């Protein structure tokens, strides 16, 4: 399932790098693309990956997730 994650608080390439790394570290998550311009991440998530898992991985890096949209 493809997901678009809206993220607040990213301000430079170090921020997007931290988010990218955190998402890539999640089991079942692939094709991670983080956009500083759009303040969002797009990724492919396996069915067992919950929005909470994605959200807390980003929270742990010090950023806020303001929404996750799933596109089946
Ligand atoms: Cu930064």
Number of structural domains found in the chain? 1
Mean pLDDT of 41-49: 98
The residue segments making up the domain with residue 58 are: 2-71
pLDDT at residue 51, as a whole number: 98
pLDDT digits (tens, 9 = 90+) for 7-17: 999 999 999 99
pLDDT digits (tens, 9 = 90+) for 54-63: 999 999 999 9
CA of 72 relative to ligand 1 center, distance in Å: 31
CA of 10 relative to ligand 1 center, distance in Å: 6
CATH of the domain at 44: 3.30.70.100
CA of 48 relative to ligand 1 center, distance in Å: 30
CA of 17 relative to ligand 1 center, distance in Å: 9
Note if the pTM is more than 0.85: yes
CA of 14 relative to ligand 1 center, distance in Å: 5
Task: Of 36, 55, 53, 33, give the one whose Cα is nearest residue 44.
Answer: 33
pLDDT at residue 32, as a whole number: 98
Contact 3, 45 (CB under 8 A): yes
Which backbone phi and psi does 22 adopt, to 5 degrees?
-65, -40
């Amino acid at each position: 399932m493809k997901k678009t994650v809206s993220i607040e608080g990213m301000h430079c390439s170090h921020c997007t790098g931290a988010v990218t790394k955190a998402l890539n570290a999640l089991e079942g998550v692939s094709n991670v693309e983080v956009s500083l311009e759009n303040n969002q991440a797009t990724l492919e998530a396996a069915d067992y990956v919950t929005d909470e898992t994605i959200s807390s991985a980003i929270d742990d890096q010090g950023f806020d997730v303001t929404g996750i949209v799933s596109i089946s």
